[in-house]
Amino acid sequence: MHMCPYTLPPTMDPITPTSAIPSGKTIVQLPDNIAIREYTYNDIPSLSHHGNTRQVWDQLRNRMPHPYTEAAAQAWITHCLEPTQFVRSGEWTSETGSQGPPISTSFAIAVAGEAVGSIGLEFGDPDDIYFRTAEIGYWLSPQHWGKGIMSRLLPAFVQWSWETFGVLIRLSAETAEGNPSSGRVLQKAGFVLEGRRPDMACKNGVVGAELMWGVLRPR
């Protein structure tokens, strides 16, 4: 599990209201029927079921509601399918910006078609100096922990991110110091440990350190 926020990604460029709404398109497909795909409203019951556990919530920021009701899952999916939240894909230049179609940056992790987690990118403020960076966040149902799913999915998602968003030059992530397994997952995706911030987070009344991770676009 990863302590990175699963939050609301900003729009990089103005998006027209006629942008297409995602309908379950797969962006990463692995053997054993494991995939990353766009959300659909059919995911509401399973997303609520798998996200409504303290094991998940304990590893995330408090912006993810708990209990994670079907209403909360529906609100999240609605947000992710809102075209104003999409980010432009394609090649990027300082003169023209990104020229590809706007797409979602938040997706379902699916096993045998069932949404059992979430993964996505939170881009830096498009009007600030961090607009060419993004933070990865994800969670996976405890029913699927210990199977190596994230160790397989995360490298593929990172590669997809480089190929899809030319604007990106750096990805970052955060983990709780007490969650070394998530750090090992990040290392398998090319992330390196960049630092430790003591007493950075307070979850369930417990103060702890966070570890900072990063990976640069391959050159």
Encode burial over 121-144: b for 16+ CB neighbours within 10 A, e otherwise: bbbbebeeeebbbbbbbbbbbbeb
Do you know the residue count of the chain?
Answer: 219
Specify if 1 maps to a domain: no
Specify if 67 maps to a domain: yes
Quick one: pLDDT at residue 5?
39
Specify if 112 maps to a domain: yes
Question: Strand pairing partners for 36?
Answer: 28, 109
Question: Strand pairing partners for 103?
Answer: 87
Containing structural domain, residue 199: 26-216
Host H or E run for residue 135: strand 133-140
219 residues of the chain, pLDDT tens digit each? 444 434 433 333 333 233 334 468 999 999 999 999 999 999 999 999 999 999 888 888 878 899 999 999 999 999 999 999 999 999 999 999 999 999 999 999 999 999 999 999 999 998 999 999 999 999 999 999 999 999 999 999 999 999 999 999 999 999 988 889 999 999 999 999 999 999 888 887 889 899 999 999 998
Quick one: pLDDT at residue 23?
66
Question: Strand pairing partners for 216?
Answer: 170
Quick one: pLDDT at residue 62?
78
Domain count for the chain: 1
CA angle (204, 210, 215) in 5-degree steps: 140
Quick one: pLDDT at residue 16?
29
The edge-to-edge listing of strands for the beta sheet with 114-123 is 26-30, 34-37, 106-111, 114-123, 133-140, 170-176, 206-216, 192-203
CATH of residue 124's domain is 3.40.630.30
Phi-psi region of 186 (alpha: psi -120 to 50; beta: other; left: phi over 0): alpha
Quick one: pLDDT at residue 61?
82
Specify if 7 maps to a domain: no
Quick one: pLDDT at residue 200?
85
Return all residues near 41 (Cβ < 8 A) that are at least 6 apart: 74, 77
Quick one: pLDDT at residue 3?
43
